[in-house]
């Protein structure tokens, strides 16, 4: 792969960093060791400044180039792991049972560290590069916290860029997209309260299990019958809990689910549909439904100008044939969306596939592909050098 030669030289070193991070995964907002490793490495590389404390474990390294330009860009990686029991069998598998780097954030952190090492060493750019190591991408919106805690005020920058590895794309290839690239996410929680009774005496109670069944079925009609067919949307109930045994009708049933969309109007329609159907159906059966529809992550929307710059950098590293347009956005969520809502920028996919049977991210047998470490690090470094060119 045509990576930056100097970065290729520390491929082995980066592989060691990645596997060490993989062995010591930490959940969202608990990335104490990871944050410490990042800080120690940035210090060792000789970055100009290290900013800590944003979103608890967040770290920003400031690298100033040669020259007097006031321009600046941000490069962002995420650091957190997932509550999954690892099944890779790798010699460097998680030593923190029940926690696993199953989304490749170990690789993301390592690639940005690799770029930081190269950029600190070479300074072949004019301006400032902020390397942003963000906690809690999964569920707890570390990206939002960093923005709220003043990331862009403390680190004034013109554009911000993000990247995710993608095991279903060939290793070392890139996919770009203008506009929406990842979906907006809401968590749904519905509690149905009926009246518990003996399973053989249903007429003395109000059965929340039957009501829950009607609600689950009716929720399927929101996307099918109220959303314009060419728009994207999903409502999924992923968990139902109610009752304990054969012959008791319980008092309550609790359901958890997720909703996804791109267009904010569709989000409103999904929320309205979930609330209306759940409360209306429960009421019509003489029970009550409490509905929580919590909008967690907005859609991740790429700016076309920033995307063409990202695409140019990716092409310089991977070659034209390996930089392809992403045909469709994905329904996954991403909290880089909060940074893109506050700052012009773009989020690109980097392929990490080894063959046909690559486990998808969030799978217990997924493992970041170390072969692409220098590709990602070269992409970051190239982006910095292209966007902040030296004047001399
Ligand atoms: Zn993930
Ligand atoms: Zn991820």
Q: Tokens at residue 364, please?
A: 């217990």
User: How much distance in Å is there from the Cα of 355 to the middle of ligand 2?
Assistant: 20
Percentage with pLDDT > 90 across the chain: 97
Give the chain's mean pLDDT. Answer: 97
Ramachandran sector of residue 243 (left: φ over 0; alpha: ψ -120 to 50; beta: rest): left
4-21 tens-digit pLDDT: 899 999 999 999 999 999
Contact 387, 69 (CB under 8 A): no
Q: Could you say which ligand is closest to the alpha carbon of residue 368?
A: 2
Q: pLDDT value at position 302?
A: 98
Q: pLDDT value at position 98?
A: 97
Q: Tokens at residue 300, please?
A: 């991740």
User: How much distance in Å is there from the Cα of 138 to the middle of ligand 1?
Assistant: 6
User: How much distance in Å is there from the Cα of 107 to the middle of ligand 2?
Assistant: 10
User: How much distance in Å is there from the Cα of 291 to the middle of ligand 2?
Assistant: 28
Report the C-alpha gap between 263 and 232 in whole angstroms.
Answer: 8
Confidence of residue 355 (pLDDT cuts 50, 70, 90): confident
106-137 tens-digit pLDDT: 999 999 999 999 999 999 999 999 999 999 99
Q: End-to-end alpha-carbon separation of the chain, Å?
A: 30
User: How much distance in Å is there from the Cα of 83 to the middle of ligand 2?
Assistant: 13
Residues around ligand 1, an ion, CB closer than 5 A = 103
Asked whether residue 215 carries a pLDDT value surpassing 90, the answer given is yes
Confidence of residue 3 (pLDDT cuts 50, 70, 90): confident
Answer positive or negative: Cα dihedral of 127, 133, 134, 138. positive
Asked whether residue 138 carries a pLDDT value surpassing 90, the answer given is yes
In this prediction the pTM is: 0.92
DSSP 45-78: HT-SEEEE-TTTT-EEEEEE-SS----EEEEEEE
Contact 184, 298 (CB under 8 A): yes
CA distances from 4 to 120, 281, 305, 338 (A): 15, 61, 24, 31
Q: pLDDT value at position 357?
A: 86
Q: Tokens at residue 347, please?
A: 């989020």
User: How much distance in Å is there from the Cα of 102 to the middle of ligand 2?
Assistant: 8
Asked whether residue 356 carries a pLDDT value surpassing 70, the answer given is yes
Contact 125, 384 (CB under 8 A): yes
Q: pLDDT value at position 76?
A: 98
User: How much distance in Å is there from the Cα of 335 to the middle of ligand 2?
Assistant: 9
Q: What is the mean pLDDT of residues 57-81?
A: 97
Report the C-alpha gap between 349 and 7 in whole angstroms.
Answer: 20
Report the C-alpha gap between 140 and 121 in whole angstroms.
Answer: 34
Asked whether residue 1 carries a pLDDT value surpassing 70, the answer given is no
Q: What string of H, E and C letters represents the secondary structure of the chain?
A: CCCCHHHHHCHHHHHHHHHHHHHCCCCCCCCHHHHHHHHHHHHHHCCCEEEECCCCCCEEEEEECCCCCCCEEEEEEECCCECCCCCCCCCCCCCCCCCECCCCHHHHHHHHHHHHHHHHHHCCCCCEEEEEEECCCCCCCHHHHHHHCCHHHHCCCCEEEEEEEEEEEECCCEEECCEEEECEEEEEEEEEECECEECCCHHHCECHHHHHHHHHHHHHHHHHHHCCCCCCEEEEEEEEECCCCCCEECCEEEEEEEEEECCHHHHHHHHHHHHHHHHHHHHHCCCEEEEEEEEEECCEEECHHHHHHHHHHHHHHHCHHHEEECCCCECCCCCHHHHHHHCCEEEEEEEEECCCCCCCCCCCCCCCCHHHHHHHHHHHHHHHHHHCCCCC
Q: Could you say which ligand is closest to the alpha carbon of residue 336?
A: 2
258-289 tens-digit pLDDT: 999 999 999 999 999 999 999 999 999 999 99
Q: pLDDT value at position 24?
A: 98
Answer positive or negative: Cα dihedral of 193, 194, 198, 199. negative
76-100 tens-digit pLDDT: 999 999 999 999 999 999 999 999 9
238-252 tens-digit pLDDT: 999 999 999 999 999
Name the β-bridge partners of 75.
131, 161
Q: Tokens at residue 31, please?
A: 């990335």
Q: pLDDT value at position 391?
A: 85
User: How much distance in Å is there from the Cα of 79 to the middle of ligand 2?
Assistant: 9
310-352 tens-digit pLDDT: 999 999 999 999 999 999 999 999 999 999 999 999 999 999 9
CA atoms within a 13 Å half-sphere pointing along the CA-CB vector of 35: 22
């Amino acid at each position: 792969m045509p990576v930056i030669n100097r970065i290729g030289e520390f491929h082995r070193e980066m592989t060691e960093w990645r596997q060490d991070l993989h062995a010591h995964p930490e959940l969202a907002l608990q990335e104490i060791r990871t944050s410490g490793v990042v800080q120690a490495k940035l210090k060792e590389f000789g970055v100009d400044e290290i900013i800590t404390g944003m979103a608890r474990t967040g770290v920003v390294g400031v690298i100033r180039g040669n020259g007097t330009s006031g321009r600046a860009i941000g490069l962002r990686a995420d650091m957190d792991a997932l509550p999954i029991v690892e099944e890779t069998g790798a010699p460097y598998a998680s030593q923190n049972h029940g926690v696993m780097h199953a989304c490749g954030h170990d690789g993301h952190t390592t690639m940005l560290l690799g770029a930081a090492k190269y950029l600190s060493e070479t300074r072949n750019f004019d301006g400032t590069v902020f390397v942003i190591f963000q906690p809690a991408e999964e569920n707890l919106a570390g990206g939002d916290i960093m923005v709220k805690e003043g990331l862009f005020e403390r680190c004034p920058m013109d554009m911000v860029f993000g990247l995710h590895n993608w095991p279903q794309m060939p290793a070392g290839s890139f996919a770009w997209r203008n506009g929406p690239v990842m979906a907006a996410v809401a968590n749904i929680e519905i509690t149905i309260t009926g009246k518990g009774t003996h399973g053989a005496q249903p007429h003395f109670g109000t059965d929340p299990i039957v009501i829950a069944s009607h609600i689950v079925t009716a929720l399927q009609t929101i996307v099918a019958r109220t959303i314009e067919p060419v728009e994207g949307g999903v409502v999924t109930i992923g968990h139902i809990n109610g009752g304990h045994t054969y012959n008791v009708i319980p008092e309550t049933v609790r359901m958890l689910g997720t909703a996804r969309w791109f267009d904010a109007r569709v989000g409103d329609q999904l929320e309205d549909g979930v609330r209306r159907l759940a409360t209306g159906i429960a009421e019509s059966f003489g029970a009550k439904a409490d509905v929580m529809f919590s909008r967690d992550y907005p859609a991740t929307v790429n700016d076309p100008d920033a995307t063409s710059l990202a695409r140019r950098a990716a092409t310089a590293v991977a070659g034209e044939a390996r930089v392809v347009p992403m045909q469709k956005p994905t329904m996954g969520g991403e909290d880089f969306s909060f940074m893109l809502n506050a700052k012009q920028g773009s989020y690109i996919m980097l392929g990490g596939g080894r063959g046909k049977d690559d486990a998808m991210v969030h799978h217990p047998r997924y493992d970041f592909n170390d072969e692409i470490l220098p590709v990602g690090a070269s992409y970051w470094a190239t982006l910095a050098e292209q966007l902040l060119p030296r004047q001399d």
